[in-house]
Structure 1
Amino acid sequence: MPAAASPDTYDLAVIGGGPGGYTAAIRASQLGLKTVLIERENLGGICLNWGCIPTKALLRSAHLFKDMQEAAVHGFTLPGPPVIDMQRLVGRSRAIAAQLSQGVRYLMKKNRVTVVEGTARLGAAMGAAVGEAQREVHVERAAGASTLRARHVILATGARARTLPGMAADPDRMWTYREAITPQALPKSLLVIGSGAIGIELGCFYRSLGSHVTVVEMLDRILPAEDAEISAMAQASFERQGIGFFVGTRVESMDNEGDGVTARIRLASGEVQQLTAERVIQAVGIRGNVENLGLEQTRVRIEGTHVLTGPFSETHEPGVYAIGDLAGAPWLAHKASHEAVICVEHIAGVPGTTPLDTSRIPGCTYSSPQIASVGATEAQARAQGRSIKVGRHRFAANGKALALGEPEGMVKMVFDADSGELLGAHMIGAEVTELIQGVAIAQTMEATEAELMHTVFPHPTLSEAILESTLDAWGRAVNH
């Protein structure tokens, strides 16, 4: 590729420093592209600073709290019941996020990526002296405005929490995930609107610490993206822990007056009820950050609040790409990172670069019990007209799960009955967010039931449930 013409001219400008953006910048630099990364807030984006990482730190603390309460079962006597210090609990999660954000900054320096702190906006496209098109990128910085040029631009501006119409977030009572992971005190009661991964994780966190938690879901079951059988097991487990659920229920209004928030809900039957809680968390999806990017001056197409892209993240505007949450579902950090690598390698002309298969991206919910899945659900496989075989293995028959004191859960495997192709895997139970990657690798390698059956799984491990559920699909289960 031709060398950059001036210090302010780059091969690639990446707007947004989240998992997709910083991964794109690193890979581009590895491939010899002069790269600039523009971030307006915190390197690492929402995932590292306000989502994936700090929530897992909080959930780890909640799990530890639960273990301490059950210490007597393991033969330990504590001097007294554990006391929650919310300031220290939250402080630990914030410190971990800050550490990782600094780690991203180190990676930028290590990989010779120029980092510009500011808000970027696309400017005019123009021809370059070397005969290749360039695009101006205007950056508003604390020290003033500046303009740089790049031959390619990747938009990785991510997304933000969506709120219900007329129910704007209130830092004191009506929270989004940002307020929910930095509470000043533990609320006695909590209403969670939405039962996707974020809503369920936060609901489990607060319930573990002692809050009275109620979840309202508009669809007919919780965790609607998961296999229906796994969803049902999850709801039953959460209900045993004391979480209340209203499914097929719509929130019509919220009154943020008095001592708490009162929600008016309409059940599937048409009955109207009122629910009151100290705090409300809205976990009803996200909106892509498409505003103020200068897209109106381009041919970039927006559907809803997300940018339409092609197989290599290209938009309808030559030289402009979009990745991660901005480019649509699935809204997962690991999808954004993988998408970033494919996009950059396509830009650099790396031979053999292939589009991302979004049907094989694992999804994880770090609740208690954990939930993880990859590929087609049983219902999706049947809807495709396939003849299928389904195998199941419950953790109650798994020695490692019993030793851990976490026998609740199951691994469910879905195969094509004729070819043996592994179509999907769905799990609920201890550490299934770690187990799922083994199945994801098997799918990538196009493994069938034969390869899984011939794989030696170590004993005693939770992973044996993958083998047993595979054997069960063919009527050959041993420990069943």
Structure 2
Amino acid sequence: MKDTDRTITTDVAIIGAGTAGMAAYRAAQRHTDRVVLIESHVYGTTCARVGCMPSKLLIAAAEAAHAARHADRFGVKVPRIDIDGRAVMARVRSERDRFVGFVVDTVEQWPDAHRWLGHARFVGTNTLVVDGPAGPRHLQAGRIVIATGSRPAVPPAWRDALGDRLIVNDDVFSWNDLPRSVAVVGAGVVGLELAQALHRLGVRVRLFGRGSRIGPLTHPALQALAGEVFGSELPLTLGVNALHVRREGDAAVLRATLADGQVQEASFEFLLAATGRRPNVDQLGLAHTALPLDPQGVPVYDRRTGRIGDSAVFMAGDAADDRPLLHEAADEGRIAGDNAGRWPDVRIRPRRAPLAVVFSEPQMALVGATHAELRVAGIDFEIGDVSFADQGRSRVMGRNQGALQVYAERDSGRLLGAEMLGPAAEHLGHLLAWSVQRGDTVQQMLDSPFYHPVVEEGLRSALRDAQRKLQLPAAFPEVCLECAT
């Protein structure tokens, strides 16, 4: 870095020190030591602080409570289930802080001169002003990586009406104790995971959603099954046309008008808004650049290179509003940082097969192309189905809910994608994603070993169903060791 006429110059400036920003920093530094990493808040990624890790800690406690509550199905009598909310949240916060500490330690080992604290904004396509503790500093960067992440999107009117009775997922992991009741608005991944976990920990919960869909599954049959499965456990109000909120004392009151005209009203200690996220790009001063923007004001970039238009500015992570997942953010950061560092030798990098997991119970997984994406693309494909209701190992564990669909290209038999609601979806999802990325055919997957008795035999049943529908001959005769599969 060089200080010229009160403007500091550098080769690469990275805005945001989350998962994508950290990956971009490591990648850029392989090409140049003139790198600045700018963070406006605190170190520690969204995943570690308020996302993946603390939510799974809460879910782990909920699963323990649920297992104890239903142990009698195995002939195991648990006389009393006593949930200590303070102990639950103490473990969540303690382990969360441990994960955050690892991230902070990593960043703080990087050179002080590379780490700037302050809010960065563009005053030109390659010029930033960073408002930090010591006042504003001008930074002229040969290349810039935008990795500013995202934040919960909440209707401003709700904040005005409810004050501290309105919370987002970030707030949950700062609790010292479990609340008595929570209304969760938003039936997507975050809303479902938190609503089910809190419900299993003894909190009075109701999950509200605008449509009939719960979670990200796209096939109508799987969507209907998800509604049936989660509706049997979790209080739901779906098909909400209008939702009005007000505060009465220390309570949040929700009045929901449904599609059929029915009106429901209930009060809760908190309203947890899980109504989506928005990219953190609105405070960057992008109007002062020549960067191409979409109608929502988000830069238009090439996900294979990270490059925005024909500029020397790159994009990575949740700020890109593409696939808001940690492994995708890390890949995008690596691609953007590498290309920023090696500029002008910008290279196209392959992306991994899509993989998304929902840590509900039963879990969900989406792999490769979804049913909806294949339909929109007009691809000719066949569906292989299996239900887990009678799948052997699933029944043994008492987790025999859900179904799996695999999508295979009709002409070649190549696996294109899969959607699943069921046990061990986080693990089956990985097997399926690896097959999609390799370009495996249904036959090649069936030629692979399957142990007995395991949940993976359910996958084999779905593959066999796809093979029958594709009318492709089997390379080896199949012998079913488990009559239910």
Q: 1:96 to 1:148 in 2, by over 3 A?
A: farther
Q: Which residue of 1 aligns with 2:41?
A: 41
Q: Is the aligned partner of 1:98 residue 2:97? A: yes
Q: Which residue of 1 aligns with 2:261?
A: 270
CA distance in 2 between counterparts of 1:33 and 1:470 reads 50
Q: Is the aligned partner of 1:346 residue 2:339? A: yes
CA shift for structure 1 position 92: 1.9
**Per-residue Cα deviation, 1:54-79 (whole angstroms, up to 9, x for no partner):** 1111101111111222344455555x
Q: Is the aligned partner of 1:244 residue 2:235? A: yes
For the residue of structure 1 that corresponds to 2:302, the secondary structure is coil
Would the aligned equivalents of 1:15 and 1:37 in 2 still touch at CA under 8 Å? yes
CA distance in 2 between counterparts of 1:304 and 1:166 reads 20
Q: Which residue of 1 aligns with 2:471?
A: none
Q: Is the aligned partner of 1:195 residue 2:205? A: no
CA distance in 2 between counterparts of 1:111 and 1:454 reads 48
Q: Is the aligned partner of 1:182 residue 2:170? A: no
Query: Which amino acid in structure 1 is aligned with residue 420 of structure 2?
Result: M
Higher relative contact order (CA 8 A, sep 6+): 2
In the TM superposition, 1:236-385 aligns within 5 A as 236-241=228-233, 243-258=234-249, 260-300=251-291, 301-311=293-303, 312-316=305-309, 318-349=311-342, 353-355=347-349, 360-385=353-378
CA distance in 1 between counterparts of 2:88 and 2:36 reads 36
CA shift for structure 1 position 38: 1.5
The equivalent position to 2:401 in structure 1, one of 405, 408, 412, is 408
Q: Which residue of 1 aligns with 2:62?
A: 62
**Per-residue Cα deviation, 1:295-354 (whole angstroms, up to 9, x for no partner):** 221123253253322342222472222222211122222221111122223334498943
Q: Is the aligned partner of 1:153 residue 2:144? A: yes
**RMSD, aligned CA:** 2.8
Would the aligned equivalents of 2:89 and 2:177 in 1 still touch at CA under 8 Å? no
- % identical equivalent positions: 27
For the residue of structure 2 that corresponds to 1:292, the secondary structure is coil
User: How high is the TM-score relative to the length of structure 1?
Assistant: 0.87
**Per-residue Cα deviation, 1:112-137 (whole angstroms, up to 9, x for no partner):** 68322322223446xxxxxxxxx443
For the residue of structure 2 that corresponds to 1:274, the secondary structure is strand
Would the aligned equivalents of 2:218 and 2:371 in 1 still touch at CA under 8 Å? no
Q: Which residue of 2 aligns with 1:88?
A: 87
CA distance in 2 between counterparts of 1:98 and 1:34 reads 31
Q: 1:302 to 1:389 in 2, by over 3 A?
A: closer
The equivalent position to 2:450 in structure 1, one of 454, 457, 461, is 457
Would the aligned equivalents of 1:171 and 1:179 in 2 still touch at CA under 8 Å? no
Would the aligned equivalents of 2:145 and 2:340 in 1 still touch at CA under 8 Å? no
Q: 1:333 to 1:171 in 2, by over 3 A?
A: farther
CA shift for structure 1 position 421: 2.1
For the residue of structure 2 that corresponds to 1:307, the secondary structure is coil
For the residue of structure 1 that corresponds to 2:248, the secondary structure is coil
Q: Structure 1: give runs of 5+ residues left out of the alignment.
A: 126-134
CA distance in 2 between counterparts of 1:254 and 1:40 reads 32
Q: Is the aligned partner of 1:221 residue 2:209? A: no
CA shift for structure 1 position 9: 4.0
CA distance in 2 between counterparts of 1:257 and 1:414 reads 50
Q: 1:27 to 1:96 in 2, by over 3 A?
A: farther
- After superposing the two structures, state which structure 1 stretch, 309-318 or 198-207, moved more: 309-318
Would the aligned equivalents of 1:42 and 1:49 in 2 still touch at CA under 8 Å? no
Q: Structure 2: give runs of 5+ residues left out of the alignment.
A: 469-473
Q: 1:43 to 1:68 in 2, by over 3 A?
A: same
Query: Which amino acid in structure 2 is aligned with residue 107 of structure 1?
Result: T
Would the aligned equivalents of 1:391 and 1:470 in 2 still touch at CA under 8 Å? yes
CA shift for structure 1 position 192: 1.6
For the residue of structure 2 that corresponds to 1:306, the secondary structure is coil
CA distance in 2 between counterparts of 1:338 and 1:464 reads 32
CA shift for structure 1 position 5: 4.8
- After superposing the two structures, state which structure 1 stretch, 401-410 or 192-201, moved more: 401-410
Would the aligned equivalents of 1:216 and 1:250 in 2 still touch at CA under 8 Å? no
User: How high is the TM-score relative to the length of structure 2?
Assistant: 0.87
Q: Which residue of 2 aligns with 1:131?
A: none
Q: Which residue of 1 aligns with 2:50?
A: 50
CA shift for structure 1 position 292: 2.8
Would the aligned equivalents of 2:29 and 2:341 in 1 still touch at CA under 8 Å? no
Query: Which amino acid in structure 2 is aligned with residue 45 of structure 1?
Result: T
CA shift for structure 1 position 419: 1.5
For the residue of structure 1 that corresponds to 2:159, the secondary structure is coil
Q: 1:81 to 1:410 in 2, by over 3 A?
A: same
